[in-house]
Amino acid sequence: MKQLTKAEEEVMQLLWVAQKANVAQLIEQMPEPKPAYNTISTIIRILENKGFVGHEKEGRGYIYHPLVTKEVYSNASMHKMMDSYFNGSFKSMVSFFVKKNDLDVKELESILKEINKDK
């Protein structure tokens, strides 16, 4: 799966929440200073070319929707990071984050309970 730039990911985050939106609606959700309409329109076209976004014709414009879910993209991104920085070792990646975030035993137990709850 292709990686997204920071700007592309920002637009996708908004689209994942909205599920369907036109360019003006996406811009409305962005913080000040708001980007130009043409900028977001260009990013949306790039996301379509990468296979992340689809569109439907509505009146004279388009309504965009995600083709890739946030979960699928997050999973692919985490695997890429794990492969690139931790030699594909999930254990090494988790150890790194535990040490860097100075988690205590109670927090680790809470994380384990959350993981086991989904099984």
Full-model pTM: 0.79
> pLDDT per residue over 20-60, tens digit each?
999 999 999 999 999 999 999 999 999 999 999 999 999 99
Q: Give residue 102's region: left, alpha or beta (phi > 0; psi -120 to 50).
A: left
Q: How many CB atoms within 10 Å of residue 98? A: 14
Q: Which residues contact 22 (CB under 8 A, 6 or more apart)?
A: 58, 61, 62, 63, 64
> pLDDT per residue over 66-112, tens digit each?
999 999 999 999 999 999 999 999 889 888 888 888 888 888 888 88
**CA neighbours within 13 Å on the CB side: how many for 61?**
8
The pLDDT of residue 112 is 84
What structural domains does the chain harbor?
A: 6-66 (1.10.10.10), 88-119 (no CATH)
Q: Which residues contact 98 (CB under 8 A, 6 or more apart)?
A: 108
The answer to whether residue 118 scores a pLDDT higher than 90 is no
